[in-house]
Structure 1
Amino acid sequence: MIRGYHKRPGTTVPIEVARALRKRLTRQEAALWVRLRRLRPAGFGFRRQVPIGPYVVDFACLKARLVVEVDGGQHGLDAHAARDAVRDARLAERGFRVARFWNHQVDRDLDVVMDTIFARLTESRPSL
């Protein structure tokens, strides 16, 4: 394996879909992306709008197997929350942990969001 390169997970999503989503980040996703890029010198490179299986996740650090999602209000609806739970379980089956944040958290407490993400990146994981 090339140093610093982590294999892209398999996907059924056309790459054009992910590319289009990268061009249409929400305001909160754009603000978080700027901050996530600052983690690269610490060894945590993130990608945005990453296809994993049948999903496109907002951000992923493949090295740490961490997905970061920024959710709007629709995710609070019962039906959407149920779909998110299934999605998170399927990502976990692929070895990913999911950290979810609300848009208002990114707007109001970006430093706290980043501290939480960094803690999740550096926490020890049980051996598989």
Structure 2
Amino acid sequence: MLEERVKRELQQSGWQNAEAVILDPELEVWVFVDSPHVPQVIADGDEQLYSQKLTHAEKSRLNKPARPKELMEALLREKRIPRSSSLYLKLAQKVSLSNCSDPAFLKLRQILQEWFPPR
């Protein structure tokens, strides 16, 4: 597996506490969870538009958008919301990560929780 090979090569290079995670398709997949906050943030509260775009999007194996970044950008563009780091901050503050079912994202979350436990 590619993740294991990258992890092994990192460790052989001196990175003893290294991990490797391959996000497939993209990090934005965590945004598309069942949460009332998502359409508020990325569709300016337009739940009908959000639902329509999500329904017509090509789905991945986890019934998530196959191209989440592009779907998110299309929603933002249609609602004239600029893409910015503050947008991701709003999502992170409001949208629970516990409903995400993407295995790679769950692995990343677990690694970060182990490396940076709550105080």
Structure of greater Rg: 2
More strand by share: 1
Q: TM-score, normalization: structure 2?
A: 0.29
Q: TM-score, normalization: structure 1?
A: 0.27
More helix by share: 2
